[in-house]
Structure 1
């Protein structure tokens, strides 16, 4: 799970499909090329090696992720591994963390990450898998108690902040437990971004979906793994990842990704400002039960511990209406782009559970994720224009709720 090729790479292959042989463990699925006329083979759509491009990407990521703490070393670009997608990075790393001993073969996912992360880790080959989906101190208490009683785990995955609840894990405590009980800590900072959060001192590995805010343009995919050179696991992880590493990032994808990332830091700061304004606006609405944003959730003090001196709170906001019908009306009325992904330069709205947990809605809700939660990836548009659009959609909610209160709403009105 998590592997594959990009659409650019697929188009490149399709143009050359007639010259290709397919290979499969099942010989009945194999096929031979239908053309051997090499003169008709299309030339590559690039004019140089992509080594420099990928070197620039590694150097940029290394610079941005380097900790502000004077005691921490500058990250070496050679400790940055590039992958075709964020899930490729997570999947590859998880498979390398599976130990030889079944006694040690357990992975823990802490907090509520993007829905595919626990699924990806679960199928990576571990004998046991534990999902501590609330990300609370009580769950860490339980984990610590079991570790003290002899339980052994290989690794713990977490996000900062989590998607879509915007909760922050206690990385200080997790680090202490990892040092005491010898497990690898992996943190996905895609939502937080290199610009906003400083997590490397507390984790062994940082994973990122470069598809999201790093690119912003929503026209390329990519992922990265960064190793902490101060980690007790550094030498072993570097050897494992280097040994199996294949550069599968398509050259044209790397070029687009680098071009898109040129103004990454500026875009993050603008998105921070817009998202904070939207979160505050939504938080003042009586029709909304609660808003999830790093400044507004119970773990807000923890986020401050990892926020960089010039960092903000990110571009992702989620919220829940008091009434599920209000959520439907708001979503339908909101004049903004709708769809998955986040971190785009334009604002993107998603009925999160309906997509990420489409086949497990009841279970997700039993764990605290409302079926009608709405996630907003706030973009770079004018802040006042965004607030006006949100306000217009909320007026529709107001009308609906007034008619519901009066008992004058029909089923047809709810579907309108």
Structure 2
């Protein structure tokens, strides 16, 4: 497909349809794990040896995501955590890593355990403060800096360009988890990031029926990218063909879903900011958010579909409000077409410092008026 097309058009056609052989407007699924050789022992189709890497659906989805990211290459993984694990396994033994504090708890827990087992020095830092990050890097001699922006669940915004400059000056690479924004809203490589990861389970797929992850590289010739790609192939954290097909199906509607979800999220954040039962709203699209100006600079077309709200009172008040919601589903995840609510303290406990009255809202594609009415009745009773 011509490279001058708008990305929404490219996505709608799954990066290349109809199929040139059959005319099918939907990509086919090839579940084969291996490929027969001819009598001369040559492979009839170059690049098809074994499906751990050799899967045309992987390549089609990877090409779409790489194009959105402005990356040279992308690799799919079996989950977002598998993608993150592959990145951290590229760090040399005995090296140091700087990881943003207050990010997705699953990432934090895994990284702490991994660094302890592998003699890596781990420094956790509030990277939304550029001065603190620079100071940390002056002391840490880090190999890798990992940030998440906007962060989950407190939605702090890190200046990607400032983080990239600080990381590169210290001789480190910058990895950005941009799951909460999607590549249609933020392309970290434009601001100097070396690698971008996503839990494709979330908005990239968008239908709450798939586990997948991705890593994209700005420079596909780097030794680190070779190690990450090797990790996918050799350790085998790959998708099945059907899962890759589901991801492609989800990507075809990504632009529409992101547009609707972001618009809904901003409307809901503005409503909640004026509600008398709300202590504070955490959303980078609000002018009152401390990272709003940075978000405006590095995000386009919206500010993501994740909104966190501090309910007046404590954990009991937040849980009671969540229990009264009728459209929002009480479930763990984000980025799907259905709106979800999660009481993060119930998931994380005391270890993270997450406020006991925080509700994380994943905003879906329902009508904004219905979602606002649901929140209003749940908070007002």
Q: Give the superposition deviation at 1:47.
A: 5.9
Q: Within 5 Å, which residues of 2 pair with 1:14-33?
A: none
Confirm or deny that 1:57 pairs with 2:57: no
What do the CA deviations read for 1:337-396 (whole angstroms, capped 9, x no partner)? 1110111100000001211x13xx1x433xxx2022100000000111111111111221
Instruction: Trace 1:171-182 onto structure 2 (pairs within 5 A).
Output: 171-182=160-171
Other-structure match for 1:331: 322
How many residue pairs get aligned? The number is 322
Counterparts of residues 334-353 of structure 1 (less than 5 Å): 334-335=325-326, 336-353=328-345
Pick the aligned partner of 1:214 from 196, 199, 204: 204
Structure 2 partner of 1:235: 222
TM-score by length of 2: 0.80
- Partner residue in 2 for 1:135: 128
RMSD: 1.9
Alpha-carbon offset, residue 83 of structure 1: 0.3
Q: TM-score, normalising length from structure 1?
A: 0.73
2:372 corresponds, among 366, 376, 387, to: 387
From the superposition, tell whether residues 329 and 179 of structure 1 become closer, same or farther in structure 2 (CA, over 3 Å).
same
Q: 1:272 to 1:109 in 2, by over 3 A?
A: same
- 1:93-112 aligned at under 5 Å gives the runs 93-97=87-91, 99-100=92-93, 102=94, 105-112=95-102
Matched residue of 1:280: which SS? helix
Distance 1:52 1:141, change over 3 A: closer
Which protein is richer in helix relative to its size? 1
The answer for unaligned runs of 5 or more in structure 1 is 1-44, 67-74, 397-416
In the TM superposition, residue 63 of structure 1 has moved relative to its aligned partner by: 1.6
SS at match of 2:184: helix
State the alpha-carbon separation in 2 of the partners of residues 63 and 270 from structure 1. Answer: 22
Displacement of 1:48? 6.0
Q: Is the 8 A contact 1:112 1:135 kept in 2?
A: no
- Provide closer, same or farther for how the CA distance between residues 198 and 242 of structure 1 changes in structure 2, counting only shifts above 3 A: closer
Q: Is the 8 A contact 1:347 1:378 kept in 2?
A: yes
What SS is found at the alignment partner of 2:376? helix
Query: Are the structure 2 counterparts of residues 218 and 114 from structure 1 closer, same or farther at C-alpha, using a change threshold of 3 Å?
Result: same
Instruction: String of CA shifts for 1:12-42, please: whole Å, max 9, x gaps.
Output: xxxxxxxxxxxxxxxxxxxxxxxxxxxxxxx
Larger Rg: 1
- The answer as to whether partners of 1:178 and 1:185 remain within 8 angstroms in 2 is yes
Residues 1:282 and 1:235: Cα distance change in structure 2 (over 3 Å): same
Partners of 1:94 and 1:270 in 2: how far apart? 34
**What is the alpha-carbon distance in structure 2 between the residues aligned to residue 117 and residue 353 of structure 1?**
16
> CA, structure 1 residues 56+95, in 2 after alignment: closer, same or farther (shift >3 Å)?
same
